[in-house]
Amino acid sequence: MSYVGPDFDPHQPRRSRRPRALTVAAAALVPGALLGWMVYEAVGGPGDAAARPSAAESSSTPTTSSTNDDKPPGPTPTADSTSASVSGSGSLRGKVVVIDPGHNPNNFQHTAEINRKVNIGTNWKECDTTGTSTNDGYTEAQFTLDVAHRTRTLLEKQGATVEFTQDGDRPWGPCIDERAEIGNKAKADAVVSIHADGAGTGQRGFHVILPAKVNEGAADTGPIVTPSRDLGERIAGSFVRATSSTPSNYVGDGTGLVTRKDLGGLNLSTVPKVFIECGNMRDSKDAAMLASDAWRQRAAQGISEGIVSFLRG
């Protein structure tokens, strides 16, 4: 989803990946939740995650990947932040989770409506767009709904109340401001917006987008910055374990975490919220993963485990 469109700007030039020798050294020093991946990368690389067993807001013609205008200076996810697994029926009773599947699959039939601009607090952006797709035509909207359904099933088994911002059950939208409002009105304990990226070939991996501290117009993210980072770190760590995916090699400096202040879905939220870009649909290797039924189940497992860990505290 991260290309020119609502809440997105063209990304900065791609950074070179660190040499593997540095990765090995970092693995000895960084006690993050991505440590396991770093060691794995050092000894052999990720390969095609779709073939491995589980270890645990935009335009219809995507051409650029996401801007990282606020690199996350904070800590990488910690090992403790990913230790909880999804188990124990009823353990989330009383908790409310809102899942925001990025892009309504019917948006392409309602271009006038989704191009209408809405106030995101700090700026005006398009209501929504169609999302991206793989070269074979598998759409981001299809992907996000599928993973959202799987995630809901896992969370409901834990007793959580799960609400969607849309389920392909409305002609278009909702707009990005309404998406935020749905989570706010639900007084959600956690909100996760599920997406897949539309970056260039060779740009691979997932990243979790965290809200920056913004206090302008209708936006005041101060109260949610810290809990949202906690939520995002836990999801990033568990996503690595569940899918064996690697953190993005084009944003986030290898942490899998990106902080942004230009997203209405985050700026307007009053409850803890993050976005996750599960992979890059425009890269053939990532696309193969995203189109895999088994991999999507593991993605849902990783997202749900991170949410469970966050809600249990």
Residue positions annotated with a catalytic role: 277
Report the C-alpha gap between 105 and 21 in whole angstroms: 44
Cβ pair 78, 33 in contact under 8 A: yes
Collapsed DSSP state (helix, strand, coil) of residue 44 = coil
User: Could you give the angle at the alpha carbon of 168 between the alpha carbons of 104 and 127, nearest 5°?
Assistant: 30
Cβ pair 208, 273 in contact under 8 A: no
Report the C-alpha gap between 151 and 145 in whole angstroms: 10
Write down the H helix ranges in the chain: 20-29, 35-43, 111-115, 140-157, 176-185, 222-243, 264-267, 284-290, 293-312
- Smallest CA-to-CA distance from 197 within 260, 132, 255 is with 132
CA distances from 1 to 86, 163, 278 (A): 28, 22, 10
DSSP 80: G
Cβ pair 28, 157 in contact under 8 A: no
Report the C-alpha gap between 101 and 118 in whole angstroms: 19
- Smallest CA-to-CA distance from 103 within 35, 174, 3, 185 is with 174
